[in-house]
A = this chain, B = another copy of it.
Amino acid sequence: MRGLNHPAIEGIDLVTVLAALGDPVRLGIVAELADGAEHPCVAFDFGITAASMSHHFRVLREAGLTRTRQEGRHRRLTLRRAELDRRFPGLLAPLLAAARDRATHRT
């Protein structure tokens, strides 16, 4: 079984976080996760291949933005909201608001 790497929040670099979010699909995933719920990976639909989605999920996980939970054959995602709020105080709320606003106006 392939291990799922979740970096410690203290070691997360702001540049890595911003680079991870500087992509329309990844920002869209995070905008959906902003509701605080756990989302099945299969539920995200951005009109791209499963392989591409898998890549984006990995980038988000390795940047410390998301936590992936394996449950049988399925994976579920949550935003590491509380940890990120501690690491980058005040950043997530306006960022997620802008991301959701963007998603609303593009769909």
Chain A residues near B (Cβ < 8 Å) = 13-24, 27, 88-91, 93-95, 97-99, 102
Contacts and interface: CB of A to CB of B under 8 A. Distances in A.
**Majority-rule SS of A interface residues:** helix
Between A13, A15, A27, the greatest number of chain B beta carbons within 10 A of the residue's beta carbon is seen for A15
Contact of A94 (B15, B20, B88, B99): B88
30 contacts: A13-B102, A14-B27, A14-B98, A14-B102, A15-B21, A15-B22, A15-B23, A15-B24, A15-B27, A16-B22, A17-B22, A18-B18, A18-B19, A18-B21, A19-B22, A20-B22, A21-B22, A22-B22, A88-B94, A88-B98, A89-B94, A89-B97, A90-B93, A90-B94, A90-B97, A91-B91, A91-B94, A91-B98, A94-B94, A95-B95
